[in-house]
Amino acid sequence: MKSVTTYLHFDGNCRTAMAFYQRCLGGDLQLRAYPDAGGTPSSDPDARIMHASLTRAGAPTLMASDSSPEGPVHRGNNFSVSIECESLAEIDRLFSAIGEQGKVRVALADMPWNARFGMLTDRFGIQWILNCTRA
């Protein structure tokens, strides 16, 4: 991948979503739970996530969090994660992996701007745009 950077917000399923994205994209996943009343990060494996970071070669790929207990997050279409792929093989693999149990909005196809392009909504309601410029 040439570039990806997005911060995602979830309503209690950040841990599950970020584990799914790690399986699709690879990389190292760091999860930090919200602290308890004493300020200590929770060790509960089901605790809401205050900050998650998925990195590859030390660079952030995705960052995310669950909403705080005081404010819920609603699925929406007010953003997309955009990935500029390095190869046709990569765009095909990522489109298939991320689209698992999701909905294709624009099927992968060759576009007039000399690229392969597709759009989908994954099973968590997050919208993705994938592009691979042809050499």
- Residue 48: how many CB atoms within 10 A of its CB? 19
Q: Which two tokens stand for residue 90?
A: 């990569």
Domain extent at residue 89: 80-133
Q: Are residues 55 and 88 in the same domain?
A: no
**Residue 73 counted as domain residue:** no
pTM (two decimals): 0.71
Model confidence pLDDT, tens digit, residues 59-99: 878 988 887 665 666 666 546 798 989 999 999 999 999 99
Closest CA to 3 of 56, 66, 71: 56
**Residue 74 counted as domain residue:** no
Instruction: Give pLDDT, residue 78.
Output: 47
Q: Which two tokens stand for residue 25?
A: 């994209």
Instruction: Give pLDDT, residue 42.
Output: 81
First to last CA, the chain: 15
Q: Which two tokens stand for residue 48?
A: 């809401």
- The CATH number given to whatever domain includes residue 113 is 3.30.720.110
Domain end (from 41, 66, 91): 66
To which residue do tokens 């070669």 refer?
57
Task: Please say whether the beta carbons of 36 and 42 come within 8 A.
Answer: yes
| Tally of domains within the chain | 2
